[in-house]
Amino acid sequence: MGKSIFVSYKYADAQVQDLEVYEVTDFFGPKRRIATTARHYVDEIAKILEEDDHIYKGENDGESMVALEDATIASKLGDKIFYSSITIVLVSKGMKEVFSSEKDQWIPWEISYSLKEQSRQGGRSKTNAVLAVVLPDQWGSYNYFIEENSCLYCNCRTLKTSFLFQILRDNMFNVHRPVYTDCVNHSGTKPYKGFSSFIYSVKWNDFIFNPKKYIDIAINIRANINEYDIVKTIK
């Protein structure tokens, strides 16, 4: 693929399906099984993408931003995101700290900077393509965000966007001219057809089966960015 990819995720979120991760306690000791977090899924992404892809990683364990000035945040994220063209945001069940402001959490800032055009010496970056890869929860379910076959007639899927950070919600179902299905079994707005969201959502199992397919979808959506109402700032 040959793409530079920034991965945004909640490092310590352990409400994800177990990947059976082990570590060696010492040179001669046995391996010890450790709790899987969203961070371990980033390692899996690095494995399944081709060798010529460059991965830039988001939040580090314990890296609080509460006391950081906006300029410091801009410097930290700008340097990483400027050289990427695609952002993968890992949607996980515990990605949000519900008692903290969204402005005090890394993921909204990482998405914001991914969507902004940035200037650096020698050039200016474009808005990144953004792909939401949804991780299974600790029970192996995606229903906390994606509900499949929510209509028995048209087999549409429902995205529970109210669960997300505001900047992610704002960039889903944001196409200027939406196209709807002709299913008559829905009250109010009918299900969307086609690529209705600038940030496309895919389940982890589908993504790892064919990562190129979904990265290409995000790139093609970005190529038609003028068809979407993009929100780039944190509210």
Cα gap 229→93, rounded to integer Å: 26
Cα gap 119→108, rounded to integer Å: 20
pTM as predicted: 0.89
Rg over alpha carbons for the chain, rounded to the nearest Å, is: 18
Q: Among the listed ranges 24-38, 115-129, 194-208, 220-234, which one has the minimum average pLDDT value?
A: 24-38
Q: Label residue 106 by pLDDT band (50, 70, 90).
A: confident
Here the tokens at position 231 are: 């929100």
Q: What percent of the chain has pLDDT over 90?
A: 50
**pLDDT computed for residue 120 by the predictor:** 66
pLDDT at 1 over 70: no
Q: Label residue 192 by pLDDT band (50, 70, 90).
A: confident
**pLDDT computed for residue 58 by the predictor:** 75
CB 195 within 8 A of CB 142: no
**pLDDT computed for residue 136 by the predictor:** 97
**pLDDT computed for residue 182 by the predictor:** 80
**pLDDT computed for residue 215 by the predictor:** 94
Cα gap 228→218, rounded to integer Å: 13
- Within 10 angstroms of residue 43's Cβ, the number of other Cβ atoms is 12
Here the tokens at position 213 are: 């397919």
Greater confidence (90 vs 184) lies with 90
What letter would DSSP give residue 175?
A: B
| Mean pLDDT value of segment 164-176 | 96
Greater confidence (136 vs 181) lies with 136
Amino acid sitting at position 75: S
